[in-house]
Structure 1
């Protein structure tokens, strides 16, 4: 390649920019910083049962309340949207959503709440305006047999857990206390 008037070839001239781009790509690939398309963390989501014995999603947040809940199912190793629900205006720092009977004020935006026995689902509350998503929970229809009112199942992930993590049973008070650690 012929040198420019300054005597520098174009490959030499752009080498620092290439190094910066390579460093940014490496950081993104290794998870050293969140990409703009990833939601920011803002609390946590769990499952419990309400006093009627219905499977209930619960969320605790740190700043802005969620304005929706999304539930995914696993199909051939991929997450496929099962349901997206819009929340009524929320206040406070926690909410519960009956997954067997949609409560007044909530609306089903897409999908359905017809959960198949034995299938794993991932649920999370989110705020669409701030791009904040609460830490998710993995559950099945059988989850309600392992919890009672006043207890919440959360999902924790370890090195050997894979993509679905493992269930941890905590009290409602501990669930609320843990939420700020996920903000």
Structure 2
């Protein structure tokens, strides 16, 4: 899914190949997780940002940046408030404000690949249960729509032929 490719270009530096998807979920304690599924190289960085209107153009505000060892396998998670497993927040972790739309995207250090992105608000975590993932898809009218899917479906989603080259 190329939904996050344009967003990833601005956040990660250049135009990376989109090799996966991003979503949000919660753990058993209800803490927000960034979730990624990919083909090929796994993410070694992730960014959470929001746009603030400044004059005639939006200003991109980086709320968090996470760095860690390249994720192995085909899917992984980062706890937004307390990353672990060698991952650290080099900016943040973010203090999410209601009514602000945040965007998250995963990538790697050389900006050659990135996941798609996920846009979310602070209140979206309350709508989720462990094992469910909020993602965004294009509908038949090419409009972006939010959808909650099982984690297993999300993990398989990055393996479709257009993503796995």
TM-score range, shorter chain: 0.7 to 0.9
Shift of 1:78: 4.1
* 1:107-137 per-position Cα deviation (integer Å, ceiling 9, x unaligned): 1223441111221000011112352110100
Partner of 1:70: 47
Q: Say whether the 8 Å CA contact 1:69–1:87 is kept in structure 2.
A: no
Show CA shifts across 1:132-152 (max 9, x none): 110100111111111101110
Classify 1:171/1:49 alpha carbon distance in 2 versus 1 (closer, same or farther; 3 Å).
same
Give me the whole-angstrom Cα distance separating, in 1, the residues matched to 2:142 and 2:38.
Answer: 28
Contact 1:121–1:138, Cα closer than 8 Å, also in 2? yes
Indicate which of 109, 113, 117 corresponds to 2:98: 117
Do structure 1's residue 54 and structure 2's residue 35 form an aligned pair? no
Match of 1:28 in 2: none
* Aligned-pair CA distance for 1:84: 1.1
Counterpart mapping for 1:6-155 below 5 A: 37-76=14-53, 77-129=58-110, 131-155=112-136
Q: Quote the Cα distance in structure 1 between the aligned partners of 2:99 and 2:157.
A: 28
Q: Which has the higher helix share?
A: 1
Structure 1 runs not aligned, ≥5 long = 1-30
Instruction: Figure out how many residues of one structure are paired with residues of the other and give that number.
Output: 147
Q: Secondary structure in 1 aligned to 2:65?
A: strand
TM-aligned CA distance change 1:111 to 1:55, over 3 Å: closer
Q: Give per-residue Cα distances to partners, 1:156-176, cap 9 Å, x unaligned.
A: 245574xxx321111111101
- Taking structure 1 as the reference length, the TM-score comes to 0.72
Counterpart position of 1:177: 156
User: Aligned partners of 2:134 and 2:66: how far apart in 1?
Assistant: 21
Q: Per residue, is there more strand in 1 or in 2?
A: 2
Q: Unmatched 5+ residue regions in structure 2?
A: 1-5
Q: Given the superposition, is the C-alpha separation of residues 40 and 142 from structure 1 closer, same or farther in structure 2, using an over 3 Å criterion?
A: same
Q: Distance in 2 between the 1:53 and 1:37 partners?
A: 34
- Whether the 8 Å contact between 2:70 and 2:108 is mirrored in structure 1 is no
The alignment yields a C-alpha RMSD, in angstroms, of 2.3
Q: Do the aligned partners of residues 122 and 89 (structure 1) sit closer, same or farther apart at CA in structure 2, a change above 3 Å counting?
A: same
